Amino acid sequence: MNTLKSYFTEFSKEQCQQFEQAAAQYIEWNQKINVISRKDIDNIELHHFLHSLAIYKAHPFESGSRCIDLGTGGGFPGIPLAIAMPEVSFVLVDSIQKKLTVAQAVVEALELNNVEVVNSRIEALKLTAEYITGRAVEPLPDFYNRAKHLLIKKGKAQHGLYYLKGPDIGSAAFSGFRRQPTSSPVSQWFKEPYFEEKWVWHVPLQNDLLE
């Protein structure tokens, strides 16, 4: 995890150990349940941990807040973010129980007390949170429209949805929003070529969303 450590010098020894342990868990579990491409598992630090942590670089969530990570699969971006922000509560949600088996195993192995794993469809969730996260699950406007009922009704503009996607999101779909989505290129934080077409999109909390 030398690359990760070089970008996150603020992480404690315990946090760095948790990332090492998480990598070992994913490599072991991926031989049983394929939640990461077999060709990609050797790139777990770069393609999965660092990519997830781009959200943390864009906006560290405030202590005491809650984040719902939708379409988490094996735990991305939720688990890396939970390691980075132990004072934030994370709910990892996916409709496929098989993938969540891996996420739950990693959470238990790392003793991540700030993480809950939930098997559910987005539409069935009854939770609310300051933050929602996702990673290229579907086009951003579609994802936001399905998930917006989970966001708290009143809060700060920096609350809302943080989404890992490419540069094109179909921004015309947000024409009725008072607060427009903003984007941050991941390459401003991580210099590896892999991140050149990776972006963090933020759809701010819409207290006065025009339907």
DSSP string, the chain: -HHHHHH-TTS-HHHHHHHHHHHHHHHHHTTTS-SS-TTTGGGIIIIIIIHHHHHHHH-PPPTT-EEEEET-TTTTTHHHHHHH-TTSEEEEEES-HHHHHHHHHHHHHHT-TTEEEEE--GGG----BSEEEEESSS-HHHHHHHHGGGB-SS--TT-EEEEEE-S---GGGGTT-SS--EEEEGGGT--SGGGTT-EEEEEE--TT---
Domain that holds residue 193: 2-204
Whether 210 is covered by a domain: the verdict is no
Beta pairing class for 199-204 and 182-185 = antiparallel
pLDDT for the residue 205: 87
Looking at the chain, how many residues does it have? 211
**CB neighbour list of residue 67: distance below 8 Å, 6 or more residues apart:** 61, 78, 81, 88, 89, 90, 91, 129, 130, 131, 132, 133
Domain count, the chain: 1
> Measured between alpha carbons, how far is 200 from 60 in angstroms, rounded to an integer?
13
Whether 170 is covered by a domain: the verdict is yes
Using alpha carbons, list the distances in angstroms from residue 137 to 92, 118, 140, 143, 162: 14, 17, 8, 7, 12
Whether 68 is covered by a domain: the verdict is yes
pLDDT for the residue 172: 65
User: In the numeric block, which tokens belong to residue 111?
Assistant: 């003793």
pLDDT for the residue 209: 44
Whether 209 is covered by a domain: the verdict is no
Whether 191 is covered by a domain: the verdict is yes
CA angle 130, 25, 66 (to 5 degrees): 10
Whether 211 is covered by a domain: the verdict is no
pLDDT for the residue 211: 39
pLDDT for the residue 110: 98
pTM recorded for the entire structure: 0.94
Mean pLDDT in each 10-residue stretch from start to end of the chain (211 residues)?
A: 96 97 96 88 95 97 97 97 98 96 98 98 94 89 90 90 84 74 94 95 74 39
Whether 106 is covered by a domain: the verdict is yes
pLDDT for the residue 207: 67
CATH code for position 127: 3.40.50.150
Whether 82 is covered by a domain: the verdict is yes
